[in-house]
Every structure is written in structure tokens, then in C-alpha cells.
Amino acid sequence: MLTRLRGAKVYDPTNGVDGKTQDIFIRDGRIAEPPTNIRAADKTIDVRGCAAMAGGIDIHTHIGGGKVNIARMLLPEDHDRDLVARGRHPRMGCGHAAPSTLTAGYRYAEMGYTACFEPAMLPVNARQAHMEMADTPIVDKGAYALLGNDDYLLRMLARKADEEQVRDYIAWTLTSAQALAIKVVNPGGINAFKFNQRKLDLDEKNEAYQVTPRQILKALAQGVQSLGLTHPLHIHGCNLGVPGNMHSTLDMIRGLDGIAAHLTHLQFHSYGLEGDRNFSSGAAPIAEIINANPNISVDVGQVMFGQTVTESGDSMQQYAGHIFADPKKWVGMDIECDAGCGVVPFRYKDKNFVNALQWAIGLELFLLVDDPWRIFLTTDHPNGAPFTSYPHLIRLLADRSFRNDMLATINSDAANASHLAALKREYSLYEIAIITRAAPAKSLGLRNKGHLAPGADADIAVYRVHPNYERMFSNAEYVFKGGRLVVQKGKVCDEPIGTTHVARVDFNPTIEAEIEQYFDRYMTMKKDRMMVSDDEIRDHGRGKLKIHRARRRA
Amino acid sequence: MACPFCSLLCDDLSLSVSKGNIAVTDNGCRQAKLGFEREATVEFPRINGKRVSQTAAIAAAAKLLRRAQRPFISGLGTDVEGIREAVHLAEKSKAIVDHGNSAGFDGGMRVMQSKGWYMTTLAELRNRSDLVVIVGADLVNHYENFVRRFLAPKQTLHLAQSKPRRAYFVGDQSVAPKSTKACMIEGINCDVTRVFEFMAALRASIAGRALKARRVAQASMTEIETLGRAIKEADYPVFVWAPAHLHGTQADLTIQSITRIIDDLNKTQRAAGLALGGDNGGMSAANVCAWLTGYPLHVSFAGKTIDYDPVQYRTSALLEHDAIDTLVWIDAIGNAAPPATNPGIKRIIIAPNQAEQSSNADVFIPVGVPGVDHAGAMIRTDSVVTIRLDQVRSSSSPSVRKIIHSIVGQL
């Protein structure tokens, strides 16, 4: 069957299409070449006057796994304020800061998003993360496996293991956890916190292993690059949230010596120490170094005002931050010689100097980083704000007068301390399409996604154009997932199962024997029982698996 | 092989299978033997005790649920897949859903939701904890393998090989675990109804506040002070409790008194807690229900939106107050008979091949045991590790997932 979307204004940056009015054809789940005779279409949907883009891709959103589920259990009062009535979606659920899996999938789809990536999957918790993602409907998904605080890797680095062995371990972890990429969180710091170290700077040694964050970062970033993975090491650096941490961030970028890296939720790592309150924006120097280093990509982790919950593997910094918990409760955990986590509810307040400045710093980064192909739109859901605030964020980026109106309402000292008012840039729809779909797809190596050329997956979002972009992007007019109509007039009408994307690269089997021995000696389950199989993801046809094969670089 | 019969989900058991009957040959425990060595019998679906086809039984169950005004789905003694389907069934039939033994791990949930806590997992305890304080948890009768696997393993990553690990057992000494070469366990006798008082005294002692009392909850202040010193000197003290083994109404209070000590300690040193519980699919049920609905069990789908009420929607309360008209009882793992209900309450029982379970049922549908008759996955007591379960013997018994999926399809 050939479906024609008639007369859309198409924003497809991958193919250089900037608002041109054209038809989009769909056949067998993919974008099709226009037929010679337009009447060949079996079905025509009139979308004249609407903007069409590839489905949105969230490169960093906490949608599944242990800490997400802890947040759900911790916050019944937050769910109570955002319950989904029977009939609104195919299944009931709850939304807001820690939404149920079902509601998360539906709401992403309603906003025109068709793929979401969980950025912090603990290898020991991978099965649960995948099970939760399997219950996240419509969207495609994938996850990044956490390394860098696990005793296995730290032992390797402490005994100065061969780089080849580290690469094999990374490759094995990808397979075992069914991951698409590798993430590091507070390198070595989560482990150090288990030994009661309360901070760990870039060149400070983890006392138990005498290994520094810089060593861990380099080993992993280099390893990921040599393995030929498309998405570079996904880095949540040292000192998250600590005033003055911009210096660790700058130092880390310089230290990477050109190795590719993705710095996530950069806003939380861009703080200076200037001013009466020793808290200032580091956005300008951070943006400058990013502009100068094409090996670096970032996502912002924008803060929005209101109630949310912060969920992080960074037990060290979450411990430090728990005194600000609102409501006053939090959960911390040391996890299975693998990592840790901290779940701290939080309310960002526009009249609070620090929160208001965090908001401004995020926006400054968006506006000061020149290349939209290297900066992605995120709130680090739900850490900066729930993902449902994306339409509001898009309006802030694209509408300077709205932005300045908002700026006038925040804590005035913070507003005065920020350069935001002077930044004239406004994102165009073309640039919005880059930072929300084209660039994330490219960064993750999803060649058939994020664009609308013939052959691409027919994941398409059609928005009714409105001068208020918040309204425009809140509810898509039509969303197609793999060619199937899943949203109509902002309401979910079908819920196909999304595909799980994983990366795979060969490894030397001797590493597997060593890991097996380690598990038998020290762990609380067998190595084979930790590994998640392809069949478990496919689950007798309930799930789909797409394996992206990587080739080692010479 | 992995064992589904308690929430430790040990995966180092050896089993032998002959003609469908299983024997635990190594690394088993009482629960594992009871579960695996249950005699394999052939059972048939029944309606009012009469043998029927599976199709007929499924249709009858669906019919009862369509007619029900106040259906209740409980037991949930099954694997992740079975629980996923049970929650879906609850939504479709506008039912309340809970785990059969939610009272056994609820206490912890309420403490977590009011103040939060700092916890750890089995491998952290095993490799890092130089001092384990077991508060009333009856390891001997319920978690027999805990000592062998986690307190007294041959090797650890971070503890000195030269000296044994230290542990204290606070509680009724008749169920105190015995020391081994690798783990020295000392007992402190404590009145099980007053453990929270003991913990308050311990907290004061750790904080350096002198108490006038000479004995608290049967323990001497000297013992409490010695324990307090040991905790302060330890690198990574871990407190282990089992909500179901703490004294009834005071379980919450006791757990909170422990987590406060942990919070105090973490200001300057490191410490953490570990709760044992959620057997018979309980931990899986709490997690699956949390991700599907936002709430860890005690959920009603009767209204326009999901309603969470851990007091009202709890199995014991609902059965006691006659608040339901139809019960769907799912238990593919446990050995216990389904709960008694008042006359007039329709009963749909989904359980393995056990004759007594079919009695009193309006509809009985036999199912296999996850990890025995079919593969599956369950979530461990620390809520972090999900253990994959294997099919151990060839079996034609369907899974809970399959049966409930079929019922859902008819609603």
C-alpha cells in the first residue's frame, strides 16, 4: 500500500530540505520514492500547511531500569497529580516526573517522538531495563551500558591491563547487556564513594584502586573509538552540580586529545565560581571549547521550573545533593560491585538564585554552541525536567521575545548574572529538526532514522504550524511509526511495538572465560545468567531487535 | 540451575530429573527442596470441580470476570511475565490487584516512601561488608543459603582473607545462624516485640549519647555499646532485616529506626541496609506493577483513573472485610493453599498441579511452575538483579502468562 502525505512543509536537515512544500510517500514501513503517477497512491492524507519532520529522537532520557523504578515507587504523590483517565490512551497509567512505562511511550508519541534512549543501564540490571523498555509502547528504544565504576574494569586498570583486553571487555559488555553504546558516570567516583571518598577530581586517585577518573575516561573513550562504535563514549563527568566544575569539564575536553566523546547534560557541568554567591555561568568558555573541538558532541540537560525527581547513577553527588531533597526523602544505593544510584526528588524554583541561573546556563549553552549537529535537545529527563516540557523548551530556543519575557520573571540576581538577554539567536524549525532528530540519529548511527529520504524508516511527525511553538510541538497532528499511523490529532490511535537497537562488535573469547571465573569467584550470580539473550529481547515476536554491527578500527 | 522458591533466587543449585520428578542434589535449602521436589501430577482444568477443556475454563473465567462488580486479582505467585499479564487483566476487568503476601514486604515500602533510605545489594554485602548486623531476620528457616553464599564465601574482592567476617544477630537467639570459619556470628538476645527500642538505644550509643537504662529490650547496655563501637569501627557495616520477620505492627517503626542509624552513619562513614523479602514473586510483582502503573501494588482499576491505596487495597484487608465478589488467585510458585473466602465469592484459581487447589474453585486452571516447567525471569530481594529461570523438565503445563493472556483476550 502506498500512502501519500500531501503538501507538507518538510524539514529534513539530513537531506538539506528546509521547509520546502512536497509530498511524502510511505510504502511497507519506509519512505518511498514519489511514483511517476501521483494517483498511484492508495491513500492520501492532506497535510497542506503542516510541518513534517522525521520522528523525534531523545538521545538521553531515563525511561527504564532500577533507579527509574525506585523513583516511581518513591513518589506516589507525584503520580496522583497526573493520572491518565481510562480511554485517554490504550492503557491507563500515570505521568509527570516518574511516569509509568506505558504513559511515557504514549506521551512521547503524542509529541512526535518515535525513539528514546535510556542512558544509564547497569549491566547487572540490564534485564530489568529491557523489560521496562519492552513495556514502553510505540517508540524504538535502546540503552547505554554503564562502565567505569565496576570493580572488574577498575581491577583491569589497576593492574595496567592491555588496551586490547579493555576493548574486549567493552565489547563483551555491549553483548551481555544488549546495549547500543557505553556510558560512564562520575568515572571511578561511584566506586570511591563506597570506600567513603566524598569527592573525586579528574586527577584524584580512587583510593582502593589508585586509578584516576582521567585514566578511566581515556581508557573507555579510546576503547569505544577503537571498537568502531558510532556513538562515542557518553560521559557524565566528575563533580556534577558542584560550583566551579566548569574547570573539570574544560580540563577533561583538553585531556581527550581529540578522541571522540559525547558530554551529557552539560548544563550540570558548566558552573563557575564568580560573584557574591560563588556560583556563576561557565557557558561561554564551555561553548567556546566545544566550538573549537569537533570531536565533542553534547546534550544540554536543560532545567525547567517545577517539581521533578533526579535519578542518577552518581551516588557520590546524589548523596551530596540529598540535603536539598523536596519532598524531604531520597533513596541511595550501592549496587552489586557494578555502580550505584541516587534518587532525589527536587523542585527547581524560578525565584531561587541557583535554580534560575541553572535555567539560564542551559539556554546559554544552546545558544552559544554554534553547530546544531553537535548539541542535542534534552532535559536529562527527569533530572532537569520531565520530557513533556520539550515543547516549552523549543519555544524558549526559537522565540527570543518569549525567552526574554521568561527571563524577566526569574530571580533578578540570576537574570542579571546571565548574558542570556544579550543572546539574539533564535532556532529555526530547520535547526529544531537537527537537534531533536537528525543529529541524534547521526550520532547514534541510526542510518534509517532522523531523516525522510526514500528508504528511511517511515517514522514521521506532522505538526500543525502555529506561531507558538510550545503549542505546535505539544501534540502532533499525525505521527507515523514504521509507516503505521499511531497518533491522530494529538491522540494515540495505535500502539505497535518498537525495535530495540543494540550495537555488537566481536571480542576475543578469552575475555569471556576470565569474566566467568570472576563471576564464579566473587559475584552473586553466574555470568551466563546475567547476560541478556537476543531471544529475550525478541520475546517470541513481542519485541524486535536491530543489531548495528561495528567494525574495529585498525 | 536457578531457584524461584525464595527471593534470593540462588542460581548455583544442582538438580537431577527423572520421569518429571526433580531432586535437588547440591546447594539446595528447605524451600528449594519443597518446591522442586513436589511430586509431578497430572491435573486438568475444572469448572465447579468438573473436568473441562482449557478453552472452556478460560471462557468461564472470562465470563465470571465480565459479570464481576468487585473483582480482585491476587496471589501473583508467578514470574515477571505472569505478573505483566495479571496487571493487564486487572485493568481490563476493572479489578484491584495486589500480591498475596504484600503484608510481608509492605513495611519497607512505607518507610521508603516517607523518608527514603540507603540500601545495598547482595554482591556489595558479600565483597565489601566487614560487619553485618542481622536484625531479626530468620535466615535459618527462610534464607538458609544466605550464610553460605553471602556471609561466608571462600573469596571476596575487598575483605582481608586472613580474618573472618564479623556478624551480629540481634533477636530471638533460638533462630540465630551459626558461625562458620569464614564468618563469626555473635548473638545479642533481644525481645522481638521491642526491636525498635533496641535500635533507638543503639542509635543513641553510636551518637555518643549516654542512656541511663541498663537493659533495653532484654539486651544489656554493654552489649548495645559494644555493637555500637563495632559499627563505628567498621568500613562498611550493613544492616539486614526481613520485614515479614519483624514483629507485626511495629515492623515500620523498626525498619525506620534502622534506616535512621544508617543515615547518621553515612554522614561521616559508610553504611547501608539490605531487606530480605518479596518471596513467591513479591519483589517481581512490586516492580512490575510500579513500572506498568507507577505504583508498587495495592492498585485499583475500578475507577476512571488508577487508585493507589496501600491500606485499603491489601490482600488481607480485602479478604477480611468481604470487599470483593470475585477472586482470581494466581500462585504458580508457593506451596500454600489459596485463602479461604466467604460463601458467594466466585473463585478463579490459577495454580500448578495440586488437587486441593481445585476444590472450592468455580474455575481451576492448572499452570506450570516458572523455573521448573517453563523459562522465565524473577526479580531478586535487592530489587536490582533479575534472574533468568530455565525450564528444568519437559512439561505441557502452560505458563500463567499464557493463560491470563487468553483470558484478557476475551474481555
Q: Would you say residue B18 has pLDDT above 90?
A: yes
C-alpha cell at A287: 561553548
State how far Cα A38 lies from the chain centre.
39
pLDDT band of residue B354 (cuts 50, 70, 90) is low
pLDDT digits (tens, 9 = 90+) for B292-344: 999 999 999 999 999 999 999 999 999 988 899 999 999 999 878 899 998 89
State how far Cα A201 lies from the chain centre.
24
Residue B336 has a pLDDT of 83
Looking up cell 516512601, which residue turns up? B113
CA distance A467 to A473: 11
State how far the alpha carbon of A321 is from the alpha carbons of A241, A295, A328, A343, in Å.
8, 31, 12, 10
CA distance B320 to B331: 20
pLDDT band of residue B355 (cuts 50, 70, 90) is low
Q: Would you say residue B5 has pLDDT above 80?
A: yes
Question: Which of helix, strand or coil describes residue B91?
Answer: helix
Residue B100 has a pLDDT of 95
Task: Please indicate whether, in this complex, the C-beta atoms of B84 and A135 are within 8 angstroms of each other.
Answer: yes
CA distance B2 to B385: 13
Residue A258 region by backbone torsions, left for phi larger than 0, else alpha for psi between -120 and 50, else beta: left
Question: Which of helix, strand or coil describes residue A268?
Answer: helix
pLDDT digits (tens, 9 = 90+) for A100-113: 999 999 999 999 99
* Nearest chain A CA: its distance from B287 CA (Å): 7
C-alpha cell at B350: 490459577
Average pLDDT, integer, range B373-393: 97
- Residue B236: list chain A partners with CB under 8 A: 194
Q: With a threshold of 0.90, tell me whether the complex ipTM lies above it.
A: yes
Selected for mutation to probe chain B from A323, A525, A527, A531 (highest B CB count within 10 Å) is A525
CA distance A452 to A450: 7
CA distance B398 to A96: 38
CB of B288 closer than 8 Å to CB of B169: no
- Residue A80: list chain B partners with CB under 8 A: 308
CATH topology of domain B105-275: Dimethylsulfoxide Reductase; domain 2 (3.40.228)
Please tell me if residue A536 touches chain B, with a CB cutoff of 8 Å.
yes
pLDDT digits (tens, 9 = 90+) for B155-189: 999 998 888 899 999 999 999 999 999 999 999 99
- Residue B305: list chain A partners with CB under 8 A: 83-86, 92
Residue B173 has a pLDDT of 97
Q: Give strand ranges (E) for B136-236.
A: 165-171, 183-189, 215-216, 219-220
Please tell me if residue A319 touches chain B, with a CB cutoff of 8 Å.
yes
- Residue A530: list chain B partners with CB under 8 A: 385
Average pLDDT, integer, range B243-266: 93
Task: Please indicate whether, in this complex, the C-beta atoms of A83 and B305 are within 8 angstroms of each other.
Answer: yes
pLDDT digits (tens, 9 = 90+) for B79-96: 999 999 999 999 999 999
DSSP string, B241-258: E-GGGS-GGGHHHHHHHH
Residue A204 has a pLDDT of 97
B77: part of which helix (H) or strand (E)?
A: strand B71-77
pLDDT digits (tens, 9 = 90+) for B53-71: 999 999 999 999 999 999 9
Q: Would you say residue B356 has pLDDT above 80?
A: no
Q: CATH 3.40.228.10 residue ranges in chain B?
A: 105-275
Q: Alpha-carbon dihedral of residues A144, A147, A150, A151, nearest 10 degrees?
A: 150
Task: Please indicate whether, in this complex, the C-beta atoms of A73 and B112 are within 8 angstroms of each other.
Answer: yes
- Residue A100: list chain B partners with CB under 8 A: 291-294
CB of A431 closer than 8 Å to CB of A459: no
State how far the alpha carbon of B272 is from the alpha carbons of A327, A331, A450, B388, in Å.
22, 11, 44, 27
* SS3 per-residue string spanning A303-371: CCCEEEEEEECCHHHHHHHHHHCCCCCEEEEEECCCEEEEEEEEEECCCCHHHHHHHHHHHHHHHHCCC
> Which of A80, A102, A335 lies at the smallest CB-CB distance from B292?
A102
Average pLDDT, integer, range A137-155: 98
Average pLDDT, integer, range A396-415: 98
Spatial CA neighbour of B198 closest among B234, B206, B140, B147:
B206
Quote helix, strand, coil % in chain A, to nearest 5.
40, 25, 35
Task: Please indicate whether, in this complex, the C-beta atoms of B291 and A522 are within 8 angstroms of each other.
Answer: no
Task: Please indicate whether, in this complex, the C-beta atoms of B287 and A522 are within 8 angstroms of each other.
Answer: no
Q: Which residues contact A205 (CB under 8 A, 6 or more apart)?
A: A211, A212
- Residue B115: list chain A partners with CB under 8 A: 328-329
* Nearest chain B CA: its distance from A514 CA (Å): 15
Sign of the four-CA dihedral A382, A351, A354, A323: negative
Q: Would you say residue A336 has pLDDT above 90?
A: yes
The alpha-carbon radius of gyration of chain B (Å, integer) is: 23
Phi then psi dihedrals of residue A365, to 5 deg? -60, -45
pLDDT band of residue A306 (cuts 50, 70, 90) is very high
Work out the mean pLDDT of chain A and round it to a whole number.
97
CA distance B378 to B382: 12
CATH topology of domain B42-101+280-409: Rossmann fold (3.40.50)
Task: Give ∠ CA A45-A46-A52 in degrees, rounded to 5.
Answer: 90
CA distance A138 to B398: 29
Work out whether strand B50-51 and strand B71-77 pair parallel, antiparallel, or are unpaired.
Answer: unpaired
* Nearest chain A CA: its distance from B110 CA (Å): 9
Average pLDDT, integer, range A483-496: 98
Sign of the four-CA dihedral B224, B227, B231, B236: negative
Residue B352 has a pLDDT of 92
Q: Which residues contact A206 (CB under 8 A, 6 or more apart)?
A: A154, A188, A189, A191, A192, A195, A197, A200, A212
Q: Would you say residue B249 has pLDDT above 90?
A: no
Q: Would you say residue A4 has pLDDT above 90?
A: yes
Enumerate domains of chain A plus CATH numbers: 54-492 (3.20.20)
CB of B83 closer than 8 Å to CB of B285: yes
Spatial CA neighbour of B170 closest among B123, B226, B110, B118:
B226
pLDDT digits (tens, 9 = 90+) for A31-55: 999 999 988 999 999 999 999 999 9
- Residue B80: list chain A partners with CB under 8 A: 131
Average pLDDT, integer, range A132-159: 98
Q: Would you say residue A434 has pLDDT above 90?
A: yes
**Residue A177, exposed/middle/buried by CB under 10 A (0-12, 13-18, 19+)?**
buried
Residue B295 has a pLDDT of 98
Residue B250 has a pLDDT of 87
pLDDT band of residue A119 (cuts 50, 70, 90) is very high
CB of B108 closer than 8 Å to CB of B243: yes
Q: Would you say residue A413 has pLDDT above 70?
A: yes
Work out the mean pLDDT of chain B and round it to a whole number.
95
Give the nearest chain A residue to B146 (CA atoms).
A524
Q: CATH 3.40.50.740 residue ranges in chain B?
A: 42-101+280-409
Taking each helix axis from N to C end, the angle separating B251-266 and B103-114, rounded to the nearest 10 degrees, works out to 40
* Nearest chain A CA: its distance from B236 CA (Å): 8
pLDDT band of residue A541 (cuts 50, 70, 90) is confident
Task: Give ∠ CA B87-A179-A453 in degrees, rounded to 5.
Answer: 95
State how far the alpha carbon of B85 is from the alpha carbons of A91, A146, A546, B12, in Å.
13, 30, 26, 29
**Choice among A281-285, B210-214, B386-390 with the minimum mean pLDDT:** B210-214
